[in-house]
Structure formats: C-alpha cells, structure tokens
Amino acid sequence: MLSGARAALSVPGLVLFASYLGFGGLLFGMGFPLLPGLLSTLLIWALPAQVILVGGLASGTALPAIALAVGLSSIRLLPMVVAIAPYVRGRRRNTWAELLCAHYVAMTVWVEGSRLLPHLPAEGRLAFTLGLGNGLIGISLCGTLVGYLLAGELPLPLAAALLFLTPASFTILMVRGSRTALDWLALGFGLASAPLVAGLGGGMDLMIGGVGGGTLAYLIARWLRRRAA
C-alpha cells in the first residue's frame, strides 16, 4: 500500500495535480459550488467526464444529454479495466475487491498500473493499486481545492492562464495518446466541430461533434485499413 502511495508522488502525479488545478479554476469560473466539485473528483475520477459535466451544465445543456455524453466519454474506461484486471487480480477471484479497484482506473492509474504492476508479486498487487489510486485521488483533490481557491484571488491574466490549463493539457495529452489514423481523425474532427456546432443547444453540439465526428473517423479509418490490406 505504501509503495503504491509513493508511486503516486511522481511526474504523472504532478501532471494530474496541474490538470486538477485547472479543473478547480474551471469550477470556480462556472460558479459551481466547491464541495460538489470535490465530490466529482472523488466519485467520477475521470477528468474528461468531469469537464464534460461541468462544461455542459454551464452552457445550459439538458441533463439527459449531459448524462449521455458523460456515459459515452466513459465507455473508454471499460476496455481499460478489462485490460488491467488480470494484473490486479490475485490467484483467487474476489468480485467486491475488483469492483473497488476498478473505481480507481482512469488514465493515470491505468498507465502507471500497466507499467508497474507486472513487476510486483501477485499477492501485493491489490494493496499497491489501492495505495496508488488513493494517493492520486488525494493529490487531485488538493489540486481541485487549490485551483478553486486560487481562481478567486488571482489577477485576471493568471486566472485566464489557470482556466486555460484544461484545454492546453488535454490537447497535448490527446496528441500524445494518438497513434493510429483513427486517433488522429477523431481528434481532428472533434476539435474542428466546436466552432461549427457552437450555436446548437440541448447537447446536439456534443452529439454531432462526438458521436458524428467519432463515427466518421471510425468509417474513414476502416476504409484506409481495407485499402491498405
């Protein structure tokens, strides 16, 4: 457990702190109350879903459309949990422990877990995952709190810089994560859709940009693959 918590104090932990610093600034900028904002970090524990939730609320999107968008953005967690579960699982299966561990799986825990867990003895992996997950959530809660409190105190240029942390870091993280044609196309279509659908209300903008852009990217990538084969 302690070695997992120590692993949380690392470069990915620092990036996470900065990202949640930006999210705290975003919460403050949207006028979202602090404690429910912290609750979102603890319970949702997936920054893209949190950004979609708060961003959607601020632009007046209908709640069912936000829930659908959050759900669609979080489907990516399913294959991540499926992929990492064999490492966390010891010799015998314990469904409750697996459900608890699955909560911690988001981008950072997944990347760090996939990197570190295979080198550990099987019986220590569950405790390591809990230590790593709780450590990273703790760091992120601090980031959210500090970002929220800072945003009210900072002079305008720095408040703008704080709010800008979220789009800047996410764009770069998505560029880093893009490997295949599908990734690049989906990233490009999603970004480019924003100015085109900005006026549409009720969640239509996200449906067109996300579901439409993603499906288009999938179809083009499949066509490219077939042509190359």
Segment 197 to 216, residues that bind another protein, using CB under 8 A? 197-198, 205-206, 209-215
Q: Which is nearer to another protein, 104 or 128 (CB)?
A: 104
Among 66, 109, 117, 139, binds another protein (CB under 8 A): 66
CA atoms of 181 and 217, how far apart (whole Å)? 8
Answer whether 52's CB lies under 8 Å from 69's CB.
yes
CA atoms of 66 and 207, how far apart (whole Å)? 10
Q: Which is nearer to another protein, 120 or 197 (CB)?
A: 197
Q: Which is nearer to another protein, 98 or 124 (CB)?
A: 98
Among 8, 143, 182, 203, binds another protein (CB under 8 A): 182
Residue 95 interacting with another protein (CB under 8 A): yes
Among 1, 5, 59, 224, binds another protein (CB under 8 A): 59
Q: Which is nearer to another protein, 116 or 154 (CB)?
A: 154
Give the residue among 170, 88, 93, 90 at the shortest CA–CA distance from 133: 88
What would the x/- binding string for another protein be over residues 6 to 25, using CB under 8 A?
A: -----x--xx--x-------
Q: At which residue do the structure tokens 């759900």 appear?
A: 71
Three-point CA angle 139, 6, 4, nearest 5°: 95
Q: Which is nearer to another protein, 4 or 37 (CB)?
A: 37
Least Å distance, CB 3 to another protein, is: 24
CA atoms of 19 and 24, how far apart (whole Å)? 9
Residue 111 interacting with another protein (CB under 8 A): no
Among 160, 201, 202, 223, binds another protein (CB under 8 A): 160
Helix axes 95-103, 125-153, angle to 10 degrees: 30
Q: At which residue do the structure tokens 């709780």 appear?
A: 134
Residue 57 interacting with another protein (CB under 8 A): yes
Q: Which residues 25-44 are close enough to bind another protein by CB under 8 A? A: 29-33, 35-37, 39-40, 43-44
Answer whether 149's CB lies under 8 Å from 176's CB.
no
Least Å distance, CB 127 to another protein, is: 18
Among 1, 5, 58, 141, binds another protein (CB under 8 A): 58
Where b means 16+ CB within 10 Å and e means fewer, 58-96 reads eeebeeebbebbbebbeeebeebbeebeebbbeeeeeee
Among 156, 227, 228, 229, binds another protein (CB under 8 A): 156
